[in-house]
Amino acid sequence: MALPLLSLPDNVKKHGRQGSGKLGDPIFTGLTFAAACTILILMALLVYMLFQDSLPSIREFGLGFLSSEEWDPVKDIYGAKPFIYGTVASSLIALVIAVPLSLGIAIYLSQFAPRWLRAPLGFLVELLAAIPSVVYGLWGIFVLAPFLGKTIEPFFADHLGGIPIFSGPVYGVGLFSAGVVLAIMILPTISAISRESMLNVARDQKEAAQALGATPWETVRIAVLPLARPGIIGAVILGLGRALGETMAVTMLIGNRPEISASIFAPAYSIASVIANEFAEVTAGIHMAALIELALILLVITLVLNLFARLLIQKPGSGGLKGKGRA
């Protein structure tokens, strides 16, 4: 892989090639270059257009857009706060549920599971990522939300209702249900990437721990987890990015009410959901600009998170993909 291929075509160029192929190389190189540049241009255009089209709203509301709670298409007053709250809160609920579970799965699949079970089990967990989000939403509306609304939510509301975040009333549909579905949806992402980085921990580290008399769990805790940490953090951030931008399942479950309440069982609204619900019906004007500004906010958040996560995962030698000696 390390051979300097770039020097080869020059040799070929000097020593005989059929006349018909003369233009082939520059044309092909040009085409692949153009294709690669398409990706750059798309990203730049994406950011530019969202910024450009949200300018009316940015000019009108300024920074107050972020802190205002009012969203009133009739009076043309728009504020992003309830949507930012709903997006962040539902994603945090998802992380609280999904991170421990994903790490458990990743540890099991990379360290404890018998070899014959690893591939099929990993495959099944990854299947969760293949199910379309609208199907999660459908299942969420008719199965999960009624179930949560009848069992888990009343349980918390009855026993821990004194704490504001668990206070009733419970509807089934709301922040919590959206968070649970998001947790299921980001579980395969987080577990697959953290499992990779756990597998990449050098075997000597594990053997050293075992030689000191560590139990299997202690080996995981002192040898595997610390070395896999950058990869795990990257995985969690990628999962968070996915949860923040997830649209359909959240739109169908979060309740779609632009309110900020203390309880996690209350209905809320997310950035992606309000865009999904209102965008097609708006024709122009400040309402559309406000929706596009919401999209811009979401884009900036996910761009930063993704950039950060990719840099963490790619970091060589520390649980990245370059480690040798698979355990």
Partner 1 sequence: MKNDLNRRRRNARSRFAYLLCVFSAVLALIPLVMIISYVIFQGASALNLDFLTQLPKPVGETGGGMGNAIVGSLILVGIASVIGLPVGILAGAYLAEFRSPRLSWLVRLLADILSGVPSIIVGVFVYALLVLTMKRFSALAGGVALGIMMLPTVARTTEEMLRMVPDSLREASLALGIPRWRTIISIVIKTAGGGILTGIMLAIARISGETAPLLFTALNSRTWPVGLDQPVASLPVQIYTYAISPYADWHQQAWAGSLVLVLMVLVLSVGSKLYFGKKMKMAR
- Footprint of partner 1 on residues 172-191 (CB under 8 A)? 184, 187, 191
Of the ranges 155-163, 164-172, 193-201, 269-277, which one interacts with partner 1 (CB under 8 A)?
Answer: 269-277
* Residue 193: Cβ within 10 Å count: 22
Instruction: Output 158 or 218, the one with its CB closest to partner 1.
Output: 218
Element spanning 71, H or E: strand 71-72
Distance CA 283, CA 225 (A): 52
Helix (H, G, I), strand (E, B) or coil at 255: strand
For the segment 129-168, give every residue that binds partner 1 (CB under 8 A): 130-139, 141-143
**What does the CA dihedral 153, 250, 238, 198 come to, rounded to 10 degrees?**
40
Helix (H, G, I), strand (E, B) or coil at 110: helix
Q: Is 292 in the site for partner 1 (CB under 8 A)?
A: yes
Instruction: Output 191 or 263, the one with its CB closest to partner 1.
Output: 191
Least CB distance to partner 1 at residue 167 (A): 27
Instruction: Output 15 or 324, the one with its CB closest to partner 1.
Output: 15
* Residue 33: Cβ within 10 Å count: 10
Helix (H, G, I), strand (E, B) or coil at 73: coil
Least CB distance to partner 1 at residue 161 (A): 26
Per-residue x/- marks for partner 1, 47-86, CB under 8 A?
Answer: --xx--x---------------------------------
Among residues 84, 148, 275, 312, which is the contact residue for partner 1, using CB under 8 A? 275
Contact at 8 Å (CB) between 219 and 203? no
For the segment 5-34, give every residue that binds partner 1 (CB under 8 A): 5-6, 8-9, 11-12, 15-18, 21, 24-25, 27-29, 31-34
Q: Is 92 in the site for partner 1 (CB under 8 A)?
A: no
Among residues 77, 88, 92, 128, which is the contact residue for partner 1, using CB under 8 A? 128
Return all residues near 279 (Cβ < 8 A) that are at least 6 apart: 288, 291
Least CB distance to partner 1 at residue 187 (A): 6
Contact at 8 Å (CB) between 254 and 90? yes
- How is residue 213 annotated by DSSP? T
Instruction: Give backbone dihedrals phi and psi of 172, rounded to 5 degrees, phi first.
Output: 90, -65
Contact at 8 Å (CB) between 293 and 57? yes
Among residues 58, 88, 121, 208, which is the contact residue for partner 1, using CB under 8 A? 121
Q: Is 105 in the site for partner 1 (CB under 8 A)?
A: yes
Among residues 80, 93, 224, 248, which is the contact residue for partner 1, using CB under 8 A? 248
Of the ranges 41-49, 63-71, 75-83, 154-162, which one interacts with partner 1 (CB under 8 A)?
Answer: 41-49
- Give how many residues touch partner 1 by CB under 8 A: 99
User: Tokens 């020097």 appear where?
Assistant: 7
Among residues 61, 170, 246, 319, which is the contact residue for partner 1, using CB under 8 A? 246
Instruction: Output 275 or 327, the one with its CB closest to partner 1.
Output: 275
Least CB distance to partner 1 at residue 176 (A): 15
For the segment 189-208, give every residue that binds partner 1 (CB under 8 A): 191
- Alpha helices by DSSP H, listed for the chain, are 8-14, 24-61, 64-67, 81-107, 115-130, 133-139, 145-150, 152-160, 175-199, 203-211, 216-219, 225-245, 248-253, 271-278, 285-314
Of the ranges 76-84, 194-202, 228-236, 238-246, which one interacts with partner 1 (CB under 8 A)?
Answer: 238-246
